[in-house]
Chain A
Amino acid sequence: MSVTQRSPITYAVTLLALVFLYLPLAMVVLFSFHATGAVSFPFTGFSLRWYRETLGDEIFRSTLWNSTVVAISVSVVTLVIGTMAAYGLTRCAPRLRAPLALLFFLPITLPGLFVGIALLVYFARLDIQLSLTTVMIGHFVYVFPYFLLVAKAALDRLDPALEEAAADLGASPWRIFRKVTLPLIWPVLAGATALAFALSFDEFIITFFIIGPDSTLPMFMYSRLHRTVDPAINVVSTLLLAITLVFWVIAFAFAVRAARGRARATDTLLGEAAA
């Protein structure tokens, strides 16, 4: 980072890319405040009527609640099982590492469509009723590899001498984890949990196949998308954007804290995951 080059063309492309990424989203947010139902220019004035209508909608409120319950359950379960798996994977016998990593990271390489339909067929075969529980199971399969990537990267960066010193001083493995490892990696784990929440909250591709009679917020959004004119979608969209963004900001903030150097913040959470 010591040297900064001048590179006008890549600078221009970056600016255009940001406009391309943000303009459509800005439009959705803008038209969620539109006074009329039209999603077209001219923009005729601001109003909160679509927010009042959506927030008063019983179905919207129940799907918001369901999504929250699912996302909290999934992120808590992922936090516990994922932390154990990351700790075990980085400290187990070397010959176990390759097969375990294959099993743990394989779900990330498959498009959600295949995971969703495979689970649908599997649950039907076992006569398991589709419900929010099956949705949670599907989300866990989807979210777990992301959590593991982040947690494993944090554990890999730890100096092994710290845990060895504690062991030499007679601490039990559990005490070492609680007193040495956890205090060093908890911000990363908190960030990864927020990431898990955001991923689960917004998940649609897998959910579509394995949802029972109860609905989640993305499912509600999907059913609304099928109607031709429905200004309330802008409101649902804006709320969905806002909620996932809040959790991404939390994840990012913890990553900054964990990295302690600002420049490595995203690397902690995503750069190494991407690598």
Chain B
Amino acid sequence: MTSVAEASRETRRARFGPGALTLPAAFGLLLFFAAPLGTFFLYSFLTNSLYEVSRPLTLEGYSDALSSEVNRTLGVNSLVVGLCAAAATVVIGLPVAYWLRFAAGRWQVLVLFLITATLFASYLVRIFAWQSILGGNGLLNSGLRRLGVIDEPLGFLLYNRFSVTVALVHIFLPYVVLVLYAGFRPVSPALVEAAQDLGANAFTRWRRVILPLVAAPAVTAFMLVFVLSAADYVTPQFVGGTDGALLGVRIQAALTGVGNWPLGAALSFLMLAAFLLCYLLTVLALRLLRLDRIRFVS
């Protein structure tokens, strides 16, 4: 065996080359990512009965998913919360990324470190933090009462779409800052200065120079937050209550306990299709606005 291996080593190397090194990873992802997704897709066409999922192949899961009133409400919630969280993170993230790129000076590394460090601040911890801040007897209410600002706890803070959005913005803001900062990196400060020298005020500079230059990464960041927020199932459980529930919670419920796997699978793929549609629409919009052609020459 050994001698055969020795003898064929040279030919093998010539045939496969360095590409063969990707085989373990490719094999692993085909087996534990592509195959599971394929299986899951197949399940969306199966029929559900108690404790068992069986053939024949039907579209029952899809029709159940689409006809349910609850799913439509949750779908709207996911859309609203996803769009609000995505818009808020990009609106906050843009000035932060701009400052990091053009105005931070020697503070740049420190602030980048501080922001990326919160990226690794546990996801569950942040949800818990917002639950304990916004709750009826939480930190905000008890603090305000202590200061004499309010007498009764503010009930509207927790268990609605607002509280879910706030927590999601907190979770995804660091990602957005990083994506936008990476987008600002190839932009030369000279471009902004030239606009300034030519007499453009801050508003015009942002509208005519800065925003078009970072439109593509801004859309990427927006889509990232939109997708991750709309599919979140943990945040709404703890800070969303019944009013702030999202579609992800419904999918999770369909997949745990007795559940209904075909329904959960159908809901998941409908959601993925919606994401894909949103993505294609934004790509199309960027192309129509001619914002996808900008190339940087450094």
Contact = CB atoms under 8 A, between A and B. Distances in A.
Interface of A: 1-7, 9-11, 13-14, 17-18, 20-22, 24-25, 27-28, 31, 39-42, 81-82, 84-85, 87-89, 91-93, 96, 100, 103-104, 106-107, 110-111, 113-115, 117-122, 125, 137-138, 140-141, 144, 148, 173, 198, 202, 204-205, 208-209, 218, 221-222, 225, 233, 237, 240-241, 244-245, 247-249, 252, 262-263, 265-267, 269-272, 274-275
Contact of B116 (A93, A122, A202, A248): A248
A113 B128 contact: no
Chain A CB within 10 A, most for which of B20, B39, B138 = B39
Interface in B149-199: 170, 173-175, 177-179, 181-183, 185, 189, 192-193
B96 A13 contact: yes
Given A21-B173, A121-B36, A237 B125 contact: yes
A114 B129 contact: no
Nearest to A9: B95
Chain B CB within 10 A, most for which of A13, A198, A204, A245 = A13
B252 interface: yes
A110 B143 CA distance: 40
Contacts of B173: 17, 20-21
B20 A252 contact: no
Interface string B17-39: 11111111110111011111101
Chain A CB within 10 A, most for which of B92, B96, B128, B177 = B128
B294 interface: no
Given A121-B43, A140-B28, A252 B122 contact: no
> By DSSP majority rule, is chain B's interface helix, strand, loop, or mixed?
helix
Contacts of B231: 111, 113-114
Interface string B69-104: 000000000000000000000001001101110111
28 contacts: A3-B189, A4-B105, A9-B95, A11-B99, A17-B115, A21-B114, A21-B118, A21-B170, A25-B118, A25-B125, A25-B126, A28-B129, A84-B21, A87-B18, A87-B21, A104-B26, A113-B233, A121-B39, A122-B35, A208-B234, A209-B256, A218-B122, A240-B124, A245-B117, A248-B117, A248-B119, A271-B178, A275-B179
Interface in B227-255: 227-228, 231-234, 238, 248, 251-252, 255
Given A10-B95, A103-B26, A271-B185, 10 more contacts: A13-B95, A20-B173, A41-B143, A87-B18, A88-B21, A93-B17, A121-B39, A121-B255, A221-B122, A241-B121
Nearest to A236: B125
B264 A117 contact: yes
Nearest to B113: A252
Given A24-B133, A107-B33, A121-B265, A5 B102 contact: yes
B281 interface: no
A13 B193 CA distance: 21
Given A3-B189, A85-B21, A275-B182, A13 B109 contact: no
Contacts of A39: 132, 138-139
B191 to A, nearest CB: 11
A14 B179 contact: no
Contacts of A93: 17, 19
B29 A117 contact: no
B94 to A, nearest CB: 8
A14 B33 contact: no
B108 interface: yes
B22 A89 contact: yes
Nearest to B118: A21
B33 A115 contact: yes
A270 B18 contact: no
B62 interface: no
B234 A204 contact: yes
Given A113-B252, A275-B182, A20 B170 contact: yes
Contact of A14 (B37, B99, B127, B178): B99
Chain B CB within 10 A, most for which of A17, A248, A265 = A17
B172 to A, nearest CB: 11
B146 A221 contact: no
B285 interface: no
Contacts of B133: 24, 27
B261 A121 contact: yes
Given A24-B130, A27-B133, A173-B18, A81 B111 contact: no
B47 interface: no
A106 B192 CA distance: 36
Nearest to A107: B33
B272 interface: yes
B22 A92 contact: yes
B116 A266 contact: yes
Contacts of B29: 103-104, 106-107, 141, 144
A266 B248 contact: no
Given A106-B33, A221-B125, A81 B25 contact: yes
A202 B102 CA distance: 33
Given A10-B99, A84-B25, A271-B185, A111 B120 contact: no
